[in-house]
Amino acid sequence: MCLALYACASVKHTGCVRDRGGAWHLPLERKWDDMRSENPPVSTSEARLISDEQFLRKIAYMYYEDGHSQETIAEMEYCSRQTVSKALQKAKERGIVRISIVPDVRTGYLRNLSREVRRKLNLEDLVLVPGRSFETARADETLDEVVAEIGNAAADYLDQLLTDTDTLAVSGGKLFMRNVVRYLKPARPLPHLHVVSTIGFVEARTSPGDANLVAYDIARAYGASHAWFCIPALMPPTPDVSPKALMALNARLSITREAIELSENATVYMMGLWTPHSNDEIVMRGILTREQIEAMEAYHPVVDINHWVFDAQGRCINELMQPPPYYLTGFAIPRLKEKISKEDARVILVAGGGPAYVPAIRAALKAGLANILVTDHITAQLLLTEE
């Protein structure tokens, strides 16, 4: 009797029905409901996550860069695997993740291109990564995934190049140089390496692209020695004090002497660059005024390295203008040409991944500012074919 009551209670709870043979079945309506429950609608919390671009980027980096499986990411982010899968698909749809077919390096294409570009541009070395066509890119557009590949390749190259007796001087840059720091994986500690910025501070507060912070992070990665270049990078024209007198004063101060000497005597330089399209941001951040920018623009600049500006022929606009709209207190970038020719310095230029970088790189090379280039193969092709 008790068993029968239990059975009846179970049947009532589940909504089962009994056929003529005595077997129990779910009614058709319950079967349909259960089938629908296997594919529930997107929850409010899941929809909110998938619409969050920061979440999409984080998931994309964890999957494509860090190599985690979707199941592992789901556990780490306390969400379902389906949410991770949808986030990756949404990242593709929004252009956060782009998948493209690159030239087959097995054919020797990149190797042959590298040889031709290195010979024509008179470079000691050239590192190429697969790029993407600029045909649909805006003039000021930068392809983030190509920039990341360039930064990764530059980090590997730097790690192979550096020795424990070198002094490395670097520029700043939130695109290329920050990516170098991000991808740097030292193969060995270099406790006697010295790392320094080539420029002082441009703002009262540091940022990820600050040259001093880039230098500090690289030094820390190698367990190396580091010196802060603690001088204002930009100085207004002052009739009472000449730039040479100001630099001489800085060179005598104990707090600045070491950084100045290290940047002047570096054996390896690694530089990013800026294009004129970044001028609006410089004005907005208060680094330079609109009037200072317009004074420079009258000379048709195409490339900026540490606020040393050059035209398409490789002429330094700062030196053409007398007086210039501002003075720079850091390492004089035009001196890189002399460092290469007379001191065998290795100067690595890291740039590419966008149309504006083609004339910028060409101008920097015409000025003799680098003997090693890390870029993408599309930029390299255009350096050969365009003028």
pLDDT of residue 305: 95
pLDDT of residue 100: 61
Q: What domains does the chain contain, in order, with CATH numbers?
A: 42-98 (1.10.10), 105-385 (3.40.50.1360)
What does the pLDDT read at residue 291? 83
- Reported pTM: 0.71
So what's the pLDDT on residue 290?
A: 77
Sign of the CA dihedral running 261, 266, 272, 275: positive
| pLDDT of res. 3 | 34
Q: Give the C-alpha separation, 298 to 306, whole Å.
A: 19
C-alpha to C-alpha distance for 366 and 264, rounded to whole angstroms? 22
Could you tell me the mean pLDDT of each successive run of 10 residues in the chain, 387 residues long? 34 42 45 43 75 88 87 92 93 79 61 89 93 87 93 95 97 94 95 96 83 97 95 75 72 85 96 81 68 85 93 94 85 96 96 95 97 96 81
- Give the pLDDT confidence score for residue 246 in this predicted structure: 72
pLDDT at position 230, please?
Answer: 87
Rounded CA separation 132/355 (Å): 11
pLDDT at residue 251 in the model: 75
Report the pLDDT value the prediction gives residue 153, as an integer from 0 to 100: 95
- Mapping DSSP to helix (H, G, I), strand (E, B) and coil, where does residue 316 land? strand
Concatenating the DSSP letter of every residue in 75-113 gives HHHTS-HHHHHHHHHHHHHTTSS-------GGGTHHHHH
One-character DSSP codes across 368-381: T--SEEEEEHHHHH
- What span, in angstroms and rounded, lies between the C-alpha atoms of 247 and 60? 47
